[in-house]
Amino acid sequence: MLMIDRLNKITRIITRKLGVKRIKKIGEVIRKNEKKAIVVGLVYNKREKKSRLILELEDDTGKILCLVDKERDYLTYIYVSRIPLDSIIGLSIRRIGKSIYYIEEVIFPEERKRAPKRSEEEVYLVLTSDLHVGSKMFLKDAFLRFVKWLNGKYGNDAMLRIASRVKYIIIAGDTVDGIGVFPGQEKQLEEIDVRKQYKMAAEILEMIPEYIEVVILPGNHDATLTVHPQPPIWRDFAEPLYELPNVRMVGNPVNVSFHGVNVLSYHGESLEDILTHIPGLSKEKISDAMRILLNVMHLCPIYGGKTRILPLKTDELIISPHPDIFQTGHIHINDHRRVNNTLLINSGTWQSQTDYQRERGWIPTPGKVPVINLKTGEMRILSFI
């Protein structure tokens, strides 16, 4: 049911994008031995053979084999190589043999031509994540400088001018370090009681001016279910956060609108699956992986990977509406890029390098805070280290 719902919803997106062009069912293309067709389906399998990529596309009527040649059409080859399994895509195909077709064009559901939405007044949105309060590596002094800046008591004149116009903050998961997330975690904790970790976090976040709305979603270290989509952090564990008047506790992912600007915030666990399955990507340029999610308009396309997805009747992880700003966390490396008038941001962390990260050569970029002017769309990275 989940995959059927995903197929139906994204097919409708692609159909609207193509306008009058007719999408044909895969079963019909095979039965009529069509010479050319546009089909939409789920990427069931993908394999490389010599200089060719062979893709198996499936809809509710059948499967079809399609291929692209690297030497003949390098750009399309790259597009196909970066399509995650279980994504729903469109293909313009041409028959080249019995039951096999050549890929002439990849049709992603992403909206390519769109005007960005802007606020009528100059207000600022701050994006951050991965505080990991309770960890010995939580950079409390740096975070307190950040809070001091929000109160207009830290930074140069330009920074203070921005601080006076900050109206919104999103914390995209892992507010605390939690307990039992990985073996031996307790050795790296300043506080092993999760409720006390949330109390510590609330004591710091309480210093943020009340006129600033703070939106908090969960991550894999937080006290809630670790499946997608995630419900909000459980109130029983994080009551002090729920009591703060300017804090809004939400699920993961979440779509919010600030002054008409659409913001999609997602903690970002599925980025690890994308890094594992798609060649040529790196944590240092994690916005490339975010770009792939936006291409296929889905936050967790790969079913059965590291990211656990609830087998619901409806797919709640499709990217809709199209965001003006797409934020993730989890990777602990600040990175950003702008694609088709959408600003992609991985917001970094407030935790210094852990033993786990050191063993894997993973170098975080803590204390760097993306700040976006919702009137102009311009972004600045402020450092508090």
Q: Are 332 and 130 in contact (CB under 8 A)?
A: yes
State the greatest distance between any 2 C-alpha atoms of the chain, in Å, as a whole number: 72
pLDDT at 376: 97
Name the band, by pLDDT with cuts 50, 70 and 90, for residue 362. confident
Q: Encode pLDDT of 219-256 as tens digits.
A: 999 999 999 999 999 999 999 999 999 999 999 999 99
Q: Encode pLDDT of 24-42 as tens digits.
A: 999 999 999 999 999 999 9
Residue 216 phi/psi, 5° resolution? -120, 120
Residue 184, number of CB atoms within 10 A of its CB: 8
Rounded percentage of the chain residues whose pLDDT exceeds 90: 89
Residue with token string 């009591």: 243
Residue with token string 């966390």: 329
Residue 4 has pLDDT above 90, yes or no: yes
pTM, full prediction: 0.95
Q: Encode pLDDT of 178-188 as tens digits.
A: 998 888 888 88
Residue 366 has pLDDT above 90, yes or no: yes
More confident residue, 167 or 304: 167
Residue 17 has pLDDT above 90, yes or no: no
Q: Encode pLDDT of 118-164 as tens digits.
A: 999 999 999 999 999 999 999 999 999 999 999 999 999 999 999 99
Q: Which of 247, 239, 242, 238 is nearest to 213 (CA)?
A: 247
